[in-house]
Chains A and B, each alone.
Chain A
């Protein structure tokens, strides 16, 4: 397949949607400026625009500069353009896509499955037993030698039928 774009980094930045461009303009990504993972003062140098921060004088909690919906919108756009890792930590530790899938909590059914052990392993055991019975002759031949093999063959020939 042929490649469609051939862009320099400057051109690629201009290709970003206006929302994302504005966001990265206002809040340069991590190596240029650090963002706190938790609540800080609103005037702190590492104040996270995705987290509701506390005003240093009034001690009131100001709602985050980007609402939960706008955060998610921005993150999803950034994900599409491959810059999701440059985004600050979202409110309430919100995660999306692969990250969300990987960090999702283990379900109760996995840690404490329903039924007794004999119930859960019943099918498997039955299958194993059937297979074992089917292979029983081969195993006996292996251990008891050719004499037993001949006996089996003779028994097959001498088997009585109704006709």
Chain B
């Protein structure tokens, strides 16, 4: 797929990720056809987002002892030589090989023929990691024993000085107390151009102030291209909505309009009379009296009395008194039941004693 150089910058050159899948596939095929067979891998390369990045995805590291579970060398224990990142596969010491014709410029030291045996890669799912546990016998002698983990779980992590990063604990599934440690990586040799660790870690600058920068004014402008047509993206002439929100004081939960509404409602409530005026009583009462005084129907009179304002209070009182009577009845019945149970119990006890049986 895309080479590492092209991945470095997405700005220049063709970015293959921009193309649709079928075009990417076509470009991939074209590039494969143009390459020498010696330089292509037998397994197609994976897109970057599918490649393993973390040690718990790989499950093995360079230097691990593994048990081969598939293929010609099934059952053999061997060592991991390298990780092949483009295909998510690994090189093993003991592996099947394929015949490869190598151009002369790629010949290794001591190579005398064009045809070489090149090891094939293996997927990490086709190997099992081998670890060593120490058994202590009854007489105190210790014996080392190899185990191969069927499945692995990764729980917890620690700082690994040699790898220079956090590494997860590699545990055997269902026996999580058994940890298979990661192999120690080959120490990297410093060359003549390497910077010493002490020199790299030395602190050469301490800021005077956390608020103001020590950099000279206009340093940023001097670093930019003065004749650039497009405005620098950080030179914004506007503020975003979220920035405006952060810069302005928050609005109170009750707005002015709402306050006005509350005030208006309060005024309306106050304007509404709470007691009937004398005129109202006179006007309405006169008509009602005319109507009621002419009533001869007993049923209608009963209705009038039942819907009056005092009828509800009377109803409530009647319901309350009925409830009290009901509760009193329940209490009396409970008392009666208690007495009944006591006398019945006594009678049974006497009967049982007479018969001579044991009562618990």
Chain A contact residues, CB within 8 Å of chain B: 1-18, 21, 24-26, 28-29, 31-32, 43, 57, 77, 80-83, 86
Q: Is B275 an interface residue (CB 8 A)?
A: yes
A14 to B285, CA, bound (A): 8
Query: Is the beta-carbon distance between B312 and A18 smaller than 8 angstroms?
Result: yes
Q: Is B272 an interface residue (CB 8 A)?
A: yes
Q: For A17, list chain B residues within 8 Å (CB).
A: 307-309
Q: Do A9 and B282 contact each other (CB < 8 Å), given the known contacts A25-B274, A26-B273, A82-B287?
A: yes
Query: Is the beta-carbon distance between B293 and A11 smaller than 8 angstroms?
Result: no
Q: For B296, list chain A residues within 8 Å (CB).
A: 1-4
Q: For B293, list chain A residues within 8 Å (CB).
A: 3, 5-7
CB distance from A110 to the nearest CB of B (A): 35
Residue among B285, B295, B304 making CB contact with A10, cutoff 8 Å: B285
A24 to B279, CA, bound (A): 11
A-side binding surface: helix, strand, loop or mixed? loop
Given A3-B293, A24-B280, 4 additional A-B pairs, CB 8 A: A8-B285, A13-B288, A32-B283, A81-B304
Query: Is the beta-carbon distance between A13 and B309 smaller than 8 angstroms?
Result: no
Q: Do A16 and B284 contact each other (CB < 8 Å), given the known contacts A24-B276, A25-B275?
A: yes
Query: Is the beta-carbon distance between A12 and B288 smaller than 8 angstroms?
Result: yes
Q: Is B277 an interface residue (CB 8 A)?
A: yes
Query: Is the beta-carbon distance between A13 and B284 smaller than 8 angstroms?
Result: yes
A86 to B276, CA, bound (A): 15
CB distance from B256 to the nearest CB of A (A): 12
Report B266-322 residues with CB < 8 Å from chain A CB.
Answer: 268, 272-277, 279-296, 298, 301, 303-304, 307-309, 312
A65 to B283, CA, bound (A): 23
Q: Do A32 and B280 contact each other (CB < 8 Å), given the known contacts A7-B293, A15-B308, A25-B275?
A: yes
Instruction: With CB as the reference atom, state the residue of chain B lying closest to A49.
Output: B272
Instruction: With CB as the reference atom, state the residue of chain B lying closest to A17.
Output: B307
A31 to B303, CA, bound (A): 29
A77 to B309, CA, bound (A): 13
Q: Do A9 and B301 contact each other (CB < 8 Å), given the known contacts A3-B296, A28-B277?
A: no
Q: For A82, list chain B residues within 8 Å (CB).
A: 287-288, 290-292
CB distance from A74 to the nearest CB of B (A): 13
A64 to B297, CA, bound (A): 37
Q: For B290, list chain A residues within 8 Å (CB).
A: 82
A25 to B288, CA, bound (A): 15
Instruction: With CB as the reference atom, state the residue of chain B lying closest to A13.
Output: B285
A57 to B264, CA, bound (A): 11
Query: Is the beta-carbon distance between A4 and B301 smaller than 8 angstroms?
Result: yes
A5 to B286, CA, bound (A): 13
Q: For B295, list chain A residues within 8 Å (CB).
A: 3-5
Q: For A8, list chain B residues within 8 Å (CB).
A: 285, 289
CB distance from B295 to the nearest CB of A (A): 6
Q: For B286, list chain A residues within 8 Å (CB).
A: 9, 12
Query: Is the beta-carbon distance between B272 and A32 smaller than 8 angstroms?
Result: no
Query: Is the beta-carbon distance between B279 and A28 smaller than 8 angstroms?
Result: yes
Instruction: With CB as the reference atom, state the residue of chain A lying closest to B291.
Output: A82
Residue among A18, A26, A81 making CB contact with B291, cutoff 8 Å: A81
Instruction: With CB as the reference atom, state the residue of chain A lying closest to B301.
Output: A4
Q: Do A12 and B274 contact each other (CB < 8 Å), given the known contacts A17-B308, A32-B279?
A: no
Q: For B282, list chain A residues within 8 Å (CB).
A: 9
Q: For A57, list chain B residues within 8 Å (CB).
A: 260
Q: For B280, list chain A residues within 8 Å (CB).
A: 24-25, 28-29, 32
Q: For B309, list chain A residues within 8 Å (CB).
A: 14, 16-18, 21
Q: For A28, list chain B residues within 8 Å (CB).
A: 273, 276-277, 279-280, 283
Some 12 contacts from A to B, beta carbons below 8 A apart, are A5-B295, A7-B289, A9-B288, A10-B281, A12-B288, A14-B309, A18-B312, A28-B279, A29-B283, A32-B283, A81-B292, A86-B284
